């Protein structure tokens, strides 16, 4: 798999560009800010591959502004170029937060435009594929009502590792805050223990901010989860 991690915006959201090694179909996880940088990185990846990359989807772990702020500009780039545009994906339970993007950003001193409509809604347990990249959607409410994590299934033949993209549900040695719209700390901890800690210990976990970790490391070391 071809993966590029871009910490974007002042809050350094981990935007992920994931490209299928066979078809060069791609998705972008949490395009939160800096759309020109995201698009420039895509162009650089195409040059390195000597092949076009077709972005099929924009996956959002949740609808807080630092995770959705560049989605409109990224999608409009493809629309304006007459290229098939990626679908915007979100869990339905976060749509009310998504629709409040300008108000969210304003609360933190930023200015952002109204978002484009959501194209498709995630469902818990849903299986999705982009090229040979195969995902299971895990609904993990707590940081927000519609928070989801993306479990990427491994394929050793294609050098695709077992991974999970956890958004702001789980961080290295920490967990997401629960004091924003619809947050619930007890539910967040329950989601982590019942949905993420059931994955293999060596599963690489990429959070929405900060460095990667593993499920096993968090089971043993995360101070918010030991004893819960």
Asked if residue 138 has pLDDT above 90, the reply is: yes
Choose among 138, 165, 210: nearest CA to 16: 165
Instruction: In whole angstroms, give the CA distance from residue 208 to residue 205.
Output: 10
| Among candidate residues 136, 137, 147, the one with its CA nearest the CA of residue 189 | 147
Residue 206 within a domain: yes
Instruction: Band the pLDDT of 228: cuts 50, 70, 90.
Output: low
Number of domains in the chain: 1
* Separation of alpha carbons 4 and 42, rounded Å: 9
Query: Which structural domain range is residue 142 located in?
Result: 2-221
**How many other CB atoms sit within 10 Å of the CB of residue 157?**
7
In a domain, 104, yes or no: yes
What pTM does this model have?
A: 0.97
pLDDT at 207: 98
Q: If you average pLDDT over every residue of the chain, what do you get?
A: 97
pLDDT of residue 73: 98
| 181-219 tens-digit pLDDT | 899 999 999 999 999 999 999 999 999 999 999 999 999
**How many Cα atoms are found within 13 Å in the side-chain-facing hemisphere of 62?**
33
CATH number for 181 = 3.60.15.10
Residue 165 included in any domain: yes
Q: 53 with 23: CB under 8 angstroms?
A: no
DSSP 93: G
Say what the pLDDT of residue 31 is. 98
CB 18 within 8 A of CB 130: yes
DSSP state of 13: E
Residue 25 to residue 130: CA distance in whole angstroms: 6
- Express each pLDDT in 146-174 by its tens digit: 999 999 999 999 889 999 999 999 999 99
Does residue 226 lie in a domain region? no
Could you read off the pLDDT of 21-80 as tens digits, one per residue? 999 999 999 999 999 999 999 999 999 999 999 999 999 999 999 999 999 999 999 999
pLDDT for res 95: 98
Distance CA 116, CA 107 (A): 20
Identify whether 228 is part of a domain.
no
Query: Contact 209/13 with Cβ under 8 angstroms?
Result: yes
Residue 5, classed as helix, strand or coil, is strand
pLDDT per position as a tens digit, 76-129: 999 999 999 999 999 999 999 999 999 999 999 999 999 999 999 999 999 999
Domain membership flag for residue 127:
yes
Angle between helices 35-49 and 71-80 (to 10 degrees): 60
d(CA 169, CA 30): 13
Residue 226: its pLDDT value, please? 78
DSSP string covering 140-181? -TTSSTT-EEEEEPPBGGGTB--EEEEETTEETTEE---SST
Q: Which of 169, 63, 146, 65 is nearest to 108 (CA)?
A: 65
Q: Could you tell me the pLDDT band of residue 6, with boundaries at 50, 70 and 90?
A: very high
Could you tell me if residue 30 is inside a domain? yes
Rg (the chain; Cα; Å): 17
Stated as kind and residue range, the H or E segment containing 135 is strand 133-139
């Amino acid at each position: 798999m071809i993966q590029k991690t871009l910490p974007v915006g002042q809050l350094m959201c981990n935007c992920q560009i994931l490209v299928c090694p066979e078809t060069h179909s791609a998705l972008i996880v949490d395009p939160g800010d800096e759309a020109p940088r995201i698009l420039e990185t895509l162009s650089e990846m195409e040059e390195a591959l000597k092949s076009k990359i077709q972005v099929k989807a924009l996956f959002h772990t949740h609808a807080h502004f630092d995770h959705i702020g560049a989605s409109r500009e990224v999608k409009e780039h493809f629309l304006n170029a007459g290229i098939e545009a990626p679908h915007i994906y979100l869990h339905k339970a976060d749509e009310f937060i998504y629709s409040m993007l300008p108000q969210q950003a304003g609360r933190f001193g930023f200015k952002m435009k109204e978002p484009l409509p959501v194209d498709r809604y995630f469902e818990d347990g849903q299986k999705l594929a982009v090229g040979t990249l195969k995902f299971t959607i895990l609904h993990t409410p707590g940081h927000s009502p519609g928070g989801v994590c993306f479990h990427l299934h491994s394929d050793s033949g294609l050098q695709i590792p077992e991974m999970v993209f956890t958004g702001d549900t789980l961080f290295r040695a920490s967990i997401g805050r629960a004091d924003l719209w619809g947050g619930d700390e007890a539910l967040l901890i329950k989601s982590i223990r019942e949905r993420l800690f059931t994955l293999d210990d060596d599963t690489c976990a990429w959070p929405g901010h900060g460095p990667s970790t593993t499920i096993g490391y968090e089971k043993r070391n995360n101070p918010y989860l030991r004893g819960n």
